[in-house]
Structure 1
Amino acid sequence: MFDRMVGLSRGETNFIRGGIAQDLRCDGRNRLSYRSINVESGVIPQANGSARIKIGGTDVIASVKAELGRPSSSRPDHGKVSIHVDCSATATPMHQGKGGEELSSELALALQRGLLGSKSGAGAGIDLSSLCIVEGKTCWDLYIDCLVVSSDGNLLDSLGAGIKAALSDTGVPRVQVIAADASSSSDQPEIDVSDEEFLQFDTSAVPVIITLTKVGKHYIVDASAEEESQMSSAISISVNRQGHICGLTKRGGAGLDPSVIHDMISVAKHVSEQFLNKLDSEIAAAQARQEES
């Protein structure tokens, strides 16, 4: 679904598969290691929050814009979040034309499922209740826009990390609800939005997405484009700091035994701790650099 088609010779294919089987990948990593991670914060000044993240050769930008809106009738005590993904035509040839549009839609849907959690609240991801201002009347709508600048595998995880970094940079204006005039016919409360005071968005429960890609008998994290071309199936599992599973997406034609899926979830939980620690460290360093500049 999100995989870049890469033409490889039989020798290259055998080299990739053989390395993964021996737990020594082409770039020297083992099966559960990530490539280098680099984060920049505040890359789009006009947004409420933004970040650029590079994982290996995959490069994405995420921005967050907060606007006042009205809660949905089904969830009157929650705000709303919408995610849009745009794949640059220069990222890879498959991103051009209709292929890029389909990929963008698939990625946005997977991110919605993985980062927002279930509607029942079990394993919740982004806390939508914190975006409610007046129940049933006024809330914050967060518009998250992502741009894929360069793609070299593991696109979904990179976008999820970029969104988490952008939310960590997001300041939502402080608001004051002014008592409505009893004689007013409007059912909308009057809201005073501060231009100077901002509340930092709480990202403590925002998950990361860990994709385990199955190649041969083994599965790996942070697959490169060449490794993704050899996959039989993959599972993307979103996990937050508390170890809660917020979403799960499977792709690829090959089926997986339930016991294998259970093991992959356990591995994803373990890997997520290391990835979150590294990501949080990079986000903190990026914010420190931003404050110094």
Structure 2
Amino acid sequence: MLIGASERDFITKGVESGIRADGRGPLDFRQFFLETGMITQASGSCRATIDFGTDVLAGVKVQVGDIEGRVDSDEAQADGAMVEDAGAGDDAETGAQSRGNVGRVVCTVECSPAAKSVLDAREVDDMCNEYSQILTRTLNGPHGGLDLQKLCIIPGSTCWVVNVDVLILDYGGNVLDTIFMAVRGALHNTRLPKATVEQTDGHFEFDISDDETEILAGRESVPVAMTLSKIGTSRIVDSTPLEALCSAAQVTVFVNRAGNVCGLQKSGKGSLEPSILIDMIETGVKLGTELAEKLDAVLDREERDRLSHIEPTGFR
């Protein structure tokens, strides 16, 4: 996507004057829409759409996996049970500690042909790889929100693997923020089967319920992403594709509902003065906290509306 010099100058001067091309102020968002439970085969799903902009669908599928990375076969999952040797003595205890007692989140971001038509093919691949890494790093990190220890089924052996698959259906700017909204909604919508573990003669045996009824522990603390773009001497949120082309640098603040910074991501070739960077981070924390609170309210309301067969509503 290219932009002419005159159009760049028009957008830059408008932002510096506090008026954007679509009439919004520097810190105004476009309207968002959320809808959960769209994919019946998934453990959880959510579609996040920006009005006249980006459209993202996130699906979550949970499965039993080995803590070291091996995923159990479909046959073992169909049986709903597995027997693991607990070992004996200090060796078994040391091995369990070395492998950890936590589950994990595996994230993949892909782009639909409709969205690819707007961007260069190489840009699409780089963007999807980058966003996949950011999602995986954030959700598996110490401030990712999800309680990964609660995903452990058998210490040192077996855990829940949460697979998060994201599809960018349409491109209209502010993609990363929209992805995190969709993923947060999908994790909020996700239900796990109940796992019952029993130990007999030094062996662990577990049984998995057929019904998915358990929520993900810590889902309310999953962070949102708030990206601020520096254009000229000003900064804006929820940038359009043309505004993104005029931006020299972007700062994404990952913040949870409690207002805690969970991560930072700087992109773009331009530099930022320390005072400007601090101001962008503080603004991102404030707006991100407000967004997380709105998301929770909308997700709760949307779930009730969906069960009552009412069309989803948006929010500003």
Q: TM-score, normalising length from structure 2? A: 0.83
Give the match for residue 201 of structure 1: 216
- Cα 1:124–1:197, aligned 2, differ >3 Å: closer, same or farther? closer
Instruction: Give 1:242 shift.
Output: 1.6
Instruction: Give 1:124 shift.
Output: 4.3
Structure 2 spans left out of the alignment, 5+ residues:
69-96, 310-316
Greater Rg over alpha carbons, structure = 2
Instruction: Give 1:139 shift.
Output: 1.0
Does the Cα contact within 8 Å between 2:166 and 2:179 map onto a contact in 1? yes
Does the Cα contact within 8 Å between 2:104 and 2:140 map onto a contact in 1? no
Kindly report the root-mean-square deviation, in angstroms, between the aligned alpha carbons of the 2 structures.
Answer: 1.9
Give the match for residue 56 of structure 2: 60
> 3-state DSSP class of the match of 1:176?
strand
Letter in structure 1 aligned against 2:115:
A
1:158 aligns with 2:172: no
Superposed counterparts of 1:237-252, under 5 Å = 237-252=253-268
> 3-state DSSP class of the match of 1:175?
strand
Structure 1 spans left out of the alignment, 5+ residues:
none
- Comparing 124-133 with 82-91, which one deviates more in the overlay? 124-133
Give the match for residue 193 of structure 2: 173
Q: Report which of the two has the higher share of helix.
A: 2
C-alpha offsets along residues 238-281 of structure 1, whole Å, 9 cap, x if unaligned? 00012221111111111222332222111111101221122223
- Cα 1:18–1:115, aligned 2, differ >3 Å: closer, same or farther? farther
Quote the Cα distance in structure 2 between the aligned partners of 1:275 and 1:21. 24
Quote the Cα distance in structure 2 between the aligned partners of 1:36 and 1:175. 40
Percent identity over the alignment is: 35
C-alpha offsets along residues 170-228 of structure 1, whole Å, 9 cap, x if unaligned? 0011110022344xxxx6x2211011251112412100001111111111111111100
Q: TM-score, normalising length from structure 1? A: 0.89
Quote the Cα distance in structure 2 between the aligned partners of 1:141 and 1:147. 19
- Cα 1:112–1:233, aligned 2, differ >3 Å: closer, same or farther? same
Question: What number of residue pairs does the alignment pair up?
Answer: 279
Give the match for residue 77 of structure 2: none
C-alpha offsets along residues 115-136 of structure 1, whole Å, 9 cap, x if unaligned? 433xxx3x44332222112221
Does the Cα contact within 8 Å between 1:115 and 1:246 map onto a contact in 2? no
> 3-state DSSP class of the match of 2:294?
helix
- Cα 1:246–1:16, aligned 2, differ >3 Å: closer, same or farther? same
- Cα 1:45–1:107, aligned 2, differ >3 Å: closer, same or farther? same
Quote the Cα distance in structure 2 between the aligned partners of 1:226 and 1:112. 28
Instruction: Give 1:90 shift.
Output: 1.3
> 3-state DSSP class of the match of 1:46?
coil
2:273 is aligned, of 234, 257, 277, to 257
Does the Cα contact within 8 Å between 1:85 and 1:108 map onto a contact in 2? yes
Structure 1 runs of 4+ aligned residues shifted over 6 Å read none
Quote the Cα distance in structure 1 between the aligned partners of 2:109 and 2:212. 30
> 3-state DSSP class of the match of 2:127?
helix
Instruction: Give 1:12 shift.
Output: 2.4
- Cα 1:106–1:165, aligned 2, differ >3 Å: closer, same or farther? same
